[in-house]
Structure 1
């Protein structure tokens, strides 16, 4: 069994949707104005975004996008910086990683795991 669907409540559905499309290759499959969007990737993962006026995730909550190599992490980091997002440089932790606060009120981790064994790092 694998996780294939996640719903996030966000403050701005359209801005979050555009961000995820631009930097993480998700594609919008359906939307209802500013209140709801369905996105997916090439592997069949479905991410839904629902509008909420009170987005309040725990401090450590985040979603992650695992990359094939450190160069991909660096490339995404630089693209975000070039577009004006405040992101720290990637660091060596449980892999080569950095975090970014996404439009809509949630955090994303971009990561190349230290040891890749069937796409896991724990």
Structure 2
């Protein structure tokens, strides 16, 4: 069984969309208007973003993007830092990983083995 899609409620759909496009290569898959867009990855997964006034995800809630190498994790981390995001350096936890707060009120994990 394959997970088809996931819906995130975010406070800023355009900013979240741009973030996912720039740093994680997701592409715009369509919009129904009224603050709703579908984002696609290169494996057919659909992440929908829906406008909400307030977002209160649990502290541990996040979405994750696996990378093929530690170098890719480092490159994304460095680019986020250069663009003004507050990110800690990657560390060895359950893989080589770091977290970043994305525009719109959700957290993203970036990791590799």
* TM-superposed deviation, 1:14: 0.2
Q: Which moved more, 1:29-38 or 1:71-80?
A: 29-38
Inter-partner Cα distance in structure 1 for 2:32 and 2:4:
21
Contact kept, 8 Å, 1:15 with 1:104, in 2: the verdict is yes
Count, aligned residues: 113
Inter-partner Cα distance in structure 2 for 1:24 and 1:73:
11
Q: Is residue 49 from structure 1 mapped to residue 46 from structure 2 by the alignment?
A: no
* TM-superposed deviation, 1:65: 0.1
Partner SS for 2:15? helix
Inter-partner Cα distance in structure 1 for 2:34 and 2:16:
11
Q: Which structure 1 segments of 5+ residues have no match?
A: 114-122
Scaled by the length of structure 1, what TM-score is found?
Answer: 0.89
Inter-partner Cα distance in structure 2 for 1:51 and 1:69:
33
Scaled by the length of structure 2, what TM-score is found?
Answer: 0.96
Q: Is residue 103 from structure 1 mapped to residue 92 from structure 2 by the alignment?
A: no
* TM-superposed deviation, 1:4: 2.3
Structure 1 residue ranges, 4+ long, deviating more than 3 angstroms after superposition = none
| CA-atom RMSD in angstroms | 1.0
Match of 2:93 in 1: 93
